[in-house]
Chains A and B, each alone.
Chain A
Amino acid sequence: MSDTIIKVENLGKKYQIGAKEPYYSLRDQIANLWNFNKKKAVEEFWALKDVNFEVKRGEAVGIIGRNGAGKSTLLKILSQITPPTTGKITMNGRVASLLEVGTGFNQELTGRENIFLNGAILGLSRKEIRKKFDEIVAFSEIEKFLDTPVKRYSSGMYVRLAFAIAANLEPDILIVDEVLAVGDAQFQKKCLGKMDEVSKKEGRTVLFVSHNMGAIEKLCKKVIVLDQGNIKDDTNNVLKAIKNYSYSNNEGVGKKNAEWLKREKQFAGDFIPLRYSITNEKGQLRDMPVRNDDDIWIQIEGECKADDLNINLSNVIYDADNNVVFVSTTYDGDEDSWPKFMKGKIRLLNKIPKHFLNQGEYRIVLTAKFNKGDWIIGLSNDCPTVNLEIQGGLSNSPYWIDRRMGMMAPILEWKSI
């Protein structure tokens, strides 16, 4: 069980940016012949540099890092989709990678036909697929739609089928990129369970990229943290690595932490968050840390792409140990009080009452979901996140000026009778 199955030495991948356009055209090249002096600035960019690590057989390894840290590049090199610029990788086994859901699918073909197509693309023979067919169908729960073209599938069915194929391939090494962001919570659970089974029971190796720290923590025995193309952490102490990572998330301190802004090209869909911030009742940004004797408001600014969206938004509050303290959603009240999501810009405020949380650091994450169940922004996405720091103002009593014992710090009523 302790032999090395993947060995990565001095791995590096260089891209040239600036010179690269969406696609080249001969016309541009010819036009450029006359502009010798106007040479485009070619900038080198190392997506990965000096990366070294080893993975043992049967290990489940989580790879975490910010967007652009090099996670996807690493997986692409491991799956032989793009070549490295430097270094060497030694692999000992068959790899199946699920870098994007349903990439091998053909829209016109039926589910049944796509199982064979996708299986073949992932390197299986028809005989092997036939043997696994029933298992794949059962796992994906699409029996009824087997003979429907996949273009009529819902996104959930799509993911289920794609994952079912990859997970049942019995590869020696299963590489899974952030693919579980879609699909309902129940299926995500099922997928995680399957991956767990693949690594623990079947002794296969799983490389798993996710922003879902809970999943990483549950599944992985080892974590590799990537930061700007370098390995920042490579440890078996998963909990500690996750904790360090979660709190290095928001660069800078003070005001910056309390505000999140949408990056270019981030998110698409019916609801797009634009800004997420910790504010006062009027929606003005607050400086961190905040005192606990003032109400804290979480402000969501976003854009709805359609009228009367049947969606809900939730603020998920985590403590410093990455436990969920509570969740507050837009449909907590009775139906008449739910906010309406009409087309255009929307702005919502959610109150965390004073004297409710304890002194300390919290992470607040925004999720969005259709009431029917499909995620718009699931927890596994790189969702909007702000950091809240509470210090002081714990109560009016002169004795409580520091953190109180316990998770919460409510001021509850006392009566003498």
Chain B
Amino acid sequence: MPKDNVYTITPPKNLVCLDWGELWRYRELLYTFAWRDVKVRYKQTVLGVGWAIFQPLFTMIIFTVFFGNLAKIPSEGVPYPIFVYTGLLLWNYFSTSLSSASSCLVDNENIIKKVYFPRLLLPLSTAVTPLVDFGFSLIIFFGLSLIFGYVPCVIGILLLPVLLFCSFLTALGVGLFLGSINAKYRDVRYILPFFIQLLMYVTPVIYPSSIIPESYRWVSFLNPMAGVITMARGGFLYGIIDFNLLAMTFGISVLFFMFGLAYFRKTERFLADTL
């Protein structure tokens, strides 16, 4: 019997280091959870994966009609459909990750109460799963660009993984925090849709961040998603990178993540008792 199989179970101490080795050993489970979520999502649906395409597409059309054509929201010289779709692309990823990360602990209550595995895998997988939808949305994005005769800049494509990573960290950080609270106080599930909706209006998804007065703009960039979407537009549509904004956004999303993780770690071991 190899010695590394020996382990002890003791009462939880205040802060235990994250066991990276264990997470790595369970990496297949992360994959399996993500695979399960993708599979279950489109089971018993007629359109199946078609949903991943229809949702952003129709949101874009409605937004274009009402915000672009009727309310005449400025779009910085780019066709409004392309403009708003760039925002939706990352926003949809963020909001889906956030809402599923916040509810995943309660949704998987039956497993958490009966089987041991690193609990972090659940929120982690819920933030990975929407990447599939993101992929489909991205294909639509290129299609749209083609239709409108707009060639996305290479800089944007290069920047995308970084922006996606920032969204991932933010969604996961907030999701870990809200998910832990949700395990104890189920109010979170009522507040969350409302919270996400408000957040979308605070984030420059349907309008450009340039309409915010310059002296207040930094406040809006405390929201990492504001920076992410602004930079996505800058990168894709104009081929520019604002490195200050990038550093700030990245820094804040890491902070969000660290905070969420710390809170999650604190509550994790008692999950089975509180759920």
A interface with B by C-beta (< 8 Å): 3, 15, 23-27, 29, 76-95, 97, 99-100, 103-104, 106, 108-109, 113, 116-117, 120-123, 125-126, 149, 172
Contact = CB atoms under 8 A, between A and B. Distances in A.
A3 B33 CA distance: 36
A123 B26 contact: yes
B8 A103 contact: no
23 contacts: A24-B185, A78-B9, A80-B9, A81-B114, A81-B115, A83-B9, A83-B12, A83-B270, A87-B10, A88-B10, A90-B8, A92-B1, A92-B5, A97-B116, A104-B114, A108-B40, A117-B32, A120-B32, A121-B111, A122-B115, A126-B28, A126-B32, A172-B1
Contacts of B11: 83-87
A91 B29 contact: no
A62 B95 CA distance: 49
B7 A91 contact: yes
Nearest to B5: A93
Contacts, number: 114
B116 to A, nearest CB: 4
Contact of A76 (B29, B186, B272): B272
Nearest to B112: A81
Contacts of A123: 26, 29, 117
Interface residues of chain B: helix, strand, loop or mixed (majority): mixed
B147 interface: no
B40 A79 contact: no
B245 to A, nearest CB: 35
6 tightest Cβ-Cβ pairs between the two chains A and B? A120-B32, A103-B114, A80-B116, A89-B9, A26-B187, A82-B272
B269 interface: yes
Contacts of B273: 15, 82
B186 A25 contact: yes
Nearest to B275: A23
A407 to B, nearest CB: 43
B1 A117 contact: no
Interface in B54-112: 110-112
B115 A104 contact: yes
Nearest to A101: B114
A113 B39 contact: yes
A121 B115 contact: yes
A103 B111 contact: yes
B78 to A, nearest CB: 41
Nearest to B114: A103
B184 interface: yes
Given A27-B187, A81-B272, A83-B270, A97 B6 contact: no
A326 B254 CA distance: 70
B187 A25 contact: yes
B104 to A, nearest CB: 13
Contact of B269 (A79, A83, A97): A83
B36 interface: yes
Given A79-B116, A106-B36, A117-B36, 14 more contacts: A23-B186, A25-B187, A29-B185, A80-B9, A81-B272, A82-B273, A83-B12, A87-B10, A88-B9, A90-B7, A92-B6, A94-B5, A95-B116, A123-B117
Among A78, A85, A125: residue with most chain B CB under 10 A: A125
B272 to A, nearest CB: 4
Contact of A104 (B28, B111, B269): B111
Given A82-B270, A103-B114, A91 B185 contact: no
Among A15, A87, A108, A120: residue with most chain B CB under 10 A: A120
A139 to B, nearest CB: 20
Interface string B7-46: 1111110000000000000101100110010011001100
A79 B7 CA distance: 12
A99 B115 CA distance: 8
A122 B187 CA distance: 31
B9 A77 contact: yes
Contacts of B9: 77-78, 80, 83-84, 88-89, 91
A25 B270 CA distance: 17
Nearest to B37: A106
A25 to B, nearest CB: 5
A46 to B, nearest CB: 14
A149 B186 CA distance: 30
B113 interface: yes
A88 B8 CA distance: 7
Given A83-B12, A89-B9, A120 B111 contact: no
A94 B43 CA distance: 34
Contacts of A104: 111, 114-115
A87 B43 CA distance: 46
